[in-house]
C-alpha cells in the first residue's frame, strides 16, 4: 500500500492507508492551541513579556527584549515544550547561564551573544527536548558552582505566575485562581481567535474530545471566547487539571473510554502531540480503538511543521482543523 503523502483535498495530505482509515473515523480529539484556537498573538507574546519581567525583577538591565515571538517557535520545533510556561522557564534559564558565563546582566549585550535561542533550542532537542534536555545542554556551558548559582535564581513558580497574569490579565483570578494581581487590564487571551467555526463541527456529525496542556478553566475560557462553548462534553475534555500532560497517552485512552469510537483522529500541531498519538498506538490493546494522528500545519512551529511531521512518518497532515473536518466528513459520506 502506498505510504507516500499526496494531496487528497484542499489543505489535506494523506497516505492511501490514512484515506481508508478516515472512512470509519467517528471521533476527533483536538489539541487546543494552534488547532482550535489561533494563539499567535497571545502565548508567544506572553512568553516574551514574562521572561523580560522576571529577568528585570532579579536585576537584569537593558532595553533589548530577551526573546521575540518568532524565537519561541524554535523551542516548539525542538519538542518537549508543549507548556508555554515551561518554554518561558527555559528562556530564563538560558539567560541565567549566559549571564553566569559572561559575568554580565546587560540584556543589550547578552541577547546577541552565543549561544542564541535557536542554538539553545536545537541543543535541547539533542538531549531529548523540554526543560530536562535544555538543562543538560546548558549546564555544560558553566562551572559547577555557577550552575548551582543559576539554579538558585531560577524560580519556576514565579515565572509561571507572571505568564498566567500576562495571559489572563484582570481575569487571572477567575481563570487561574490567583490573588493579589500585579498585571491589570485585559490579558493576552483577548487576542485569541477561533480557527474553526462551531457550525463546521456540528455539521460534520462527529463526536469531539480535547487533550490540552491548558488547565480546565483556561481551556473553558478560550473555547467560550471562540464560540465553541458546549461543543465538548466535560468528561471528554482532558486538561492539566486532570493531572495529565502530553506526551502521556492516558488522555487519549480516557477520551476513547468516554466516546467509544471505532477510530479516532488526534489533531495536534507539535511534536508532543505526535508523540502522544504514537505512544497510544504502541500501548493500546486490541480492545482499544485505533488512533490516527493528524499534524496541523498552521500551529506553533509555523513553516517547520510539514518537515517535522513528515520526518517522523506522519500519514495525515492538514493545513487547519477546518480542512481536516471537511475532508473527514466528506470521506464518511462518500466511501470508496
Residues 199 and 155 in one domain: no
Q: Which one of 158, 173, 189 terminates a domain?
A: 189
The predicted model gives 151-176 an average pLDDT of: 96
Check whether residue 203 and residue 323 sit in a common domain: yes
Question: How confident is the model at residue 184, as a pLDDT?
Answer: 86
Q: Give me the percent of the chain exceeding a pLDDT of 90.
A: 90
Q: What is the 3-state secondary structure (H, E, C) of the chain?
A: CCCCCEEEECCEEECHHHHHHHCCCCEEEECCECCCEECCCCHHHHHHHHHHHHHHHCCCECCCCCCCHHHHHHHHHHCCCCCHHHHHHHHHHHHHHHHHHHCCCEHHHHCCCCCCHHHHHHHHHHCCCHHHHHHHHHHHHCCHHHHHHHHHHCCHHHHHHHHHHHHHECCHHHHHCCCCCCCCCECHHHHCEECCCHHHHHHHCCEEEEECCCCHHHHHHHHHHCCCCCCCCHHHEECHHHCCCCCCCHHHHHHHHHHCCCCEEEEECCHHHHHHHHHHHHHCCCCCCCEEEEEECCCCCHHHHHHHHHHCCCCEEECCHHHHHHHHHHHHHCCC
Four-point Cα dihedral 285, 289, 254, 172, nearest 10: 130
Q: Which residue has the higher pLDDT, 1 or 194?
A: 194
Report yes or no: 27 and 205 within 8 Å, Cβ to Cβ.
no
What number is the average pLDDT over the span 314-328?
A: 96
**For residue 153, is it within any domain?**
yes
The answer on 70 and 169 residing in a single domain is: yes
Whether 1 is in a domain gets the answer: no
Q: Give how many domains the chain has, as a whole number.
A: 2
The answer to whether residue 110 sits within a structural domain is yes
pLDDT tops 60 at residue 104: yes
- Taking 70 as the threshold, does the pLDDT of residue 324 lie above it? yes
CA dist 166 and 64 (Å) reads 19
**Residue at a domain's end among 164, 189, 214:** 189
**79 CB contacts (<8 Å, ≥6 apart)?**
125, 129, 130, 270, 271, 272, 275
Segment 10-34 shows an average pLDDT of 95
pLDDT of residue 129: 92
64 & 171 share domain: yes
**Residue 244, pLDDT above cutoff 70:** yes
Q: With 90 as the cut, is the pLDDT of residue 86 above it?
A: yes
- Across the range 27-46, mean pLDDT stands at 96
**Residue that is last in its domain, among 159, 189, 219:** 189
Residue 334: its pLDDT value, please?
59
Write down the pLDDT at residue 336. Answer: 44
Q: Are residues 207 and 320 in the same domain?
A: yes
Q: What does the pLDDT read at residue 1?
A: 45
The verdict on 14 and 101 lying in the same domain is no
Q: Are residues 278 and 318 in the same domain?
A: yes
pLDDT higher for 1 or 64?
64
Specify if 27 maps to a domain.
yes
CA distance 292 to 274: 10
CATH number at residue 19: 3.40.50.1000
Contact 32, 270 (CB under 8 A): no
Q: What is the mean pLDDT of residues 175-202?
A: 93
Residues 224 and 320 in one domain: yes
For residues 136 and 243, membership in a common domain is answered with no
Q: Are both 61 and 10 inside the same structural domain?
A: no
pLDDT in tens, 277-293: 999 999 999 999 999 99
Give the domain extent around 239.
Answer: 6-39+192-333
In a domain, 11, yes or no: yes
Q: Is the pLDDT of residue 136 over 70?
A: yes
Check pLDDT > 90 for residue 298.
no
Are 224 and 276 members of one domain?
A: yes
* Sequence-ordered list of residues with C-beta below 8 angstroms from that of 311, at least 6 positions apart, any chain: none
Out of 22-26, 247-251, 255-259, 329-333, least confident range: 329-333
Q: Judge if 48 and 23 occupy the same domain.
A: no
Amino acid at each position: 500500500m502506498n505510504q507516500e503523502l499526496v494531496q487528497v483535498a484542499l489543505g489535506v495530505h494523506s497516505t492511501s492507508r490514512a484515506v481508508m482509515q478516515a472512512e470509519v473515523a467517528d471521533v476527533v480529539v483536538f489539541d487546543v492551541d494552534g488547532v482550535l484556537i489561533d494563539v499567535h498573538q497571545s502565548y508567544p507574546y506572553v512568553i516574551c513579556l514574562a521572561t523580560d519581567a522576571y529577568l528585570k525583577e532579579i536585576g537584569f538591565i537593558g532595553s533589548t527584549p530577551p526573546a521575540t515571538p518568532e524565537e519561541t517557535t524554535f523551542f516548539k520545533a525542538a519538542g518537549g515544550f508543549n507548556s508555554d510556561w515551561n518554554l518561558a522557564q527555559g528562556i530564563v534559564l538560558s539567560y541565567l547561564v549566559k549571564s553566569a558565563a559572561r559575568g554580565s546582566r546587560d540584556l543589550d549585550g547578552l541577547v546577541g551573544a552565543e549561544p542564541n535561542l535557536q542554538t539553545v533550542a536545537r541543543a535541547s532537542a539533542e538531549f531529548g527536548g523540554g526543560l530536562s534536555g535544555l538543562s543538560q545542554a546548558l549546564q555544560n556551558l558553566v562551572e559547577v558552582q555557577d550552575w548551582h548559582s543559576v539554579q538558585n535564581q531560577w524560580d519556576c513558580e514565579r515565572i509561571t505566575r507572571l505568564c498566567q497574569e500576562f495571559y489572563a490579565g484582570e481575569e487571572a483570578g477567575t481563570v487561574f485562581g490567583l490573588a493579589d494581581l500585579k498585571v491589570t487590564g485585559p490579558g493576552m487571551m483577548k487576542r485569541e481567535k477561533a480557527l474553526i467555526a462551531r457550525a463546521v463541527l456540528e455539521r460534520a456529525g462527529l463526536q469531539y474530545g480535547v487533550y490540552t496542556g491548558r488547565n480546565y478553566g483556561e481551556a473553558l475560557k478560550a473555547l467560550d471566547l471562540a464560540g465553541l462553548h458546549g461543543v465538548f462534553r466535560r468528561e471528554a475534555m482532558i486538561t492539566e487539571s486532570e493531572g495529565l500532560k502530553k506526551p502521556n497517552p492516558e488522555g487519549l485512552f480516557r477520551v476513547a473510554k468516554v466516546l467509544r469510537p471505532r477510530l479516532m483522529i488526534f489533531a495536534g500541531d507539535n511534536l508532543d502531540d505526535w508523540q502522544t498519538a504514537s505512544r497510544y498506538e504502541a500501548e493500546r490493546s486490541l480492545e482499544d480503538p485505533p488512533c490516527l494522528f493528524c499534524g496541523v500545519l498552521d500551529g506553533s512551529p509555523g513553516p517547520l511543521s510539514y518537515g517535522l511531521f513528515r520526518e517522523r512518518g506522519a500519514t495525515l497532515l492538514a493545513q487547519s482543523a477546518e480542512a481536516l473536518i471537511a475532508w473527514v466528513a466528506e470521506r464518511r459520506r462518500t466511501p470508496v
